[in-house]
């Protein structure tokens, strides 16, 4: 585990450059995060739709935060915190969408599979160079001294 020492924060005057940097960091963070756009109730499931048109069904009974909610309460449920949470101001409920998804074993299994597939396709410059060198030699060299 890497230890990072905290830096002493000194108040700096806000400049145009600092504002531009902050806006750029916010745009990068916005594109990397879960960005839900709508939430509706459909047959005892919350339908959460995202910016790209995809969506997910989350069964209400699995989330104790919604115990005691009635149909009109679900109608008052909104997407908040820049598309990362479901909020109901009257009932003072704020639930992370990523947390709700991570509570589902099946969705986490799918996510793990997708991540493994994506990571398996990545190739570093060193891997690419080794593959080219092995290709020039006729392919991957056989292991020597290994009993099969």
Per residue in 64-115, pLDDT (tens digit) is: 999 989 888 899 999 998 888 999 999 999 999 999 999 989 999 998 898 8
* Structure-token match 């009993």, residue found: 147
Cβ atoms < 10 Å from Cβ of 85: 19
Cβ atoms < 10 Å from Cβ of 50: 16
Give the residue among 88, 105, 86 at the shortest CA–CA distance from 96: 86
Q: What is the model's pLDDT at position 11?
A: 74
pLDDT (tens digit per residue) in 16-33 = 988 898 888 877 776 666
Cβ atoms < 10 Å from Cβ of 65: 15
**Is pLDDT of 14 > 90?**
no
The C-alpha atoms of residue 143 and residue 97 are separated, in whole angstroms, by: 48
Q: Are 108 and 114 in contact (CB under 8 A)?
A: no
Cβ atoms < 10 Å from Cβ of 112: 10
**How would you classify the pairing of strands 36-42 and 45-50?**
antiparallel
Right CATH for 35-120 from 3.30.2020.40, 3.40.50.1360, 3.40.640.10, 3.30.1330.30: 3.30.2020.40
Domain ranges of the chain: 35-120
Structure tokens, 55: 């969506």
| Three-class DSSP category at 33 | coil
Going from the C-alpha of 35 to that of each of 11, 103, 131, the distances in angstroms are 32, 18, 38
């Amino acid at each position: 585990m890497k230890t990072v020492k905290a830096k002493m924060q000194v108040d700096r005057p806000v400049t145009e450059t600092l504002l531009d940097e902050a806006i750029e960091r916010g745009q990068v963070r916005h594109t990397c995060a879960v960005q839900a756009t709508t939430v509706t109730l459909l047959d005892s499931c919350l339908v959460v739709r995202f910016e790209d048109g995809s969506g997910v069904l989350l069964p209400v009974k699995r989330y104790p935060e919604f115990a005691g909610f009635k149909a009109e309460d679900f109608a008052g449920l909104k997407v908040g915190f820049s598309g990362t949470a479901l909020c109901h101001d009257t009932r003072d409920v704020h639930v992370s969408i990523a947390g709700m998804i991570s509570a589902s074993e099946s969705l986490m299994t799918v996510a793990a599979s997708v991540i493994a597939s994506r990571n398996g396709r990545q190739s570093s410059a060193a891997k690419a160079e080794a593959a080219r060198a092995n290709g020039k030699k006729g392919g991957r060299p056989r292991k020597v001294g290994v009993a099969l």
